[in-house]
Amino acid sequence: MNGQLQACVSDMLRIVAEKLSRCTLKKKMSADEILALLDFTTETPTATPDAQPALTYDGDLSDLPPGLGKKRAAQILALCEAGVPDGFYVHAGNPKLFKLTKLHNTFYVDEDSRIAGPYGKDDKGKHAIEWLAEKAGKVGPPPEEEVVAALPQKWKGDKKKVTNMFEKVDKAPEGKYINYLTSRAVEHNKDPAKETRLFNENYNICGDKKNKAEFLCLIAWLDEHPGAQTGNFETESKDDSDKEDDSDKEGEQSGSDEEDKEDKEGEQSGSDEEDKEDKEGEQSGSDSDDSSDDVEYVEGFNKKKLVALKEALEGRGKSLINPTTCMAVRVTRVSKQKYRFHAKSGLALEKGDNKAETDAQLKAFIKMLA
């Protein structure tokens, strides 16, 4: 063995040894169990989800079980809060998303929280996962990005790219699809489990799964432009000029309608104002009672607004809720720049001037909703 190769092997062995030193080992472990601890597999790697953004966890970590550090627990729970894609789990020993293989058949798995990892010495790993699972609760997939009709970003709005794409589609051999970005003609993988592309039968085009959001936006754009395959990009939507005509007619009538309305309101104003004052007087006592609740309200909130927010969260579906407006917000590339999305609570919080300010505000909302 030459000196360069020996140095390389030595470095690899040191990396393995350092990683094993951070794991909980058992007596008479099999080779597969050791590989599972190292999270190493000799099989063809399975597809992994998109890289996770920097995440934080704001919950209580004061009662950690033995063998579970605060930093690792926070990383695991933050991944759970962001949502775990179907088929994936959060690794309890090395906080990241992964797919279970036959090499992980000795792992302890909690299906509700989607956390999995080795049992560990004296079942410390299992106890840690049970504690994490209780904190995480029921974990689902991350919220889906909104599909908005749009051409791919690389095309920069050039509709000639659409024409060129369909010219390739017309020339493609039977059974093959055109990749919208590379213009290559490809066919379905014979093994569905190894398929890395998405296919659209209507337009005979495909795209890589990593570009799923952009591919679906392109399909939506083509659906809105049914003539695009023949070079006719006009939509079938109604001309905006019709709307302008309608607004002109409404403008002509508004003057007389407003005058009639003012006359009627003038006759009723006296009695209406008196009734309003009586009702406000009756309600003033109950409104002032909000401050007596144990709830620590976020600035601008009271009992009534909190109830409205909880109702909006219950009926949010796949969207997240802006707590200040109670309006649903879809996760898109644009909205990610404005909002901090928190899948666990269902909140879409407008970002503050800095991360610390946003984190503090999110923590206050979660505490108020608890």
Q: For residue range 185-242, list pLDDT tens digits in order.
A: 999 988 887 888 999 988 999 999 888 889 999 999 998 887 787 777 765 443 433 4
Asked whether the beta carbons of 117 and 92 are under 8 A apart, the reply is: yes
Q: Which of 81, 96, 57 is nearest to 137 (CA)?
A: 81
- Angle, in degrees to the nearest 10, between helices 303-314 and 355-369: 90
Q: Which stretches of the chain are assigned E, i.e. beta strand?
A: 89-91, 97-98, 108-110, 115-117, 177-179, 185-186, 197-200, 205-208, 320-322, 327-329, 339-342, 347-350
Note the pLDDT of residue 132: 95
- Exposure string for 132-147, b = 16+ CB within 10 A, e = fewer: bbebbeebeebbebbb
Task: Give the type of residue at 369.
Answer: L
CA angle 170, 176, 179 (to 5 degrees): 80
Q: Which residues in the chain land under pLDDT 50? A: 1, 41-48, 50-53, 236-256, 258-260, 262-264, 266-267, 269-271, 273-274, 277-279, 281-282, 284-292
- Angle, in degrees to the nearest 10, between helices 70-82 and 124-136: 40
Query: Which tokens belong to 152?
Result: 């791919």
Alpha carbon 158 to its chain centroid, in Å, reads 30
Note the pLDDT of residue 234: 64
Rounded CA-CA distance 306/222 in Å is: 42
Note the pLDDT of residue 18: 65
Rounded CA-CA distance 156/222 in Å is: 16
According to DSSP, residue 289 is labeled G
According to DSSP, residue 145 is labeled B
Note the pLDDT of residue 64: 92
Dihedral, CA of residue 30, residue 40, residue 61 and residue 143, to nearest 10 = -130
Asked whether the beta carbons of 216 and 143 are under 8 A apart, the reply is: no
Dihedral, CA of residue 24, residue 30, residue 34 and residue 39, to nearest 10 = -120
Note the pLDDT of residue 97: 92
Rounded CA-CA distance 126/11 in Å is: 32
The overall pTM is greater than 0.75: no
Note the pLDDT of residue 250: 47
Note the pLDDT of residue 96: 92
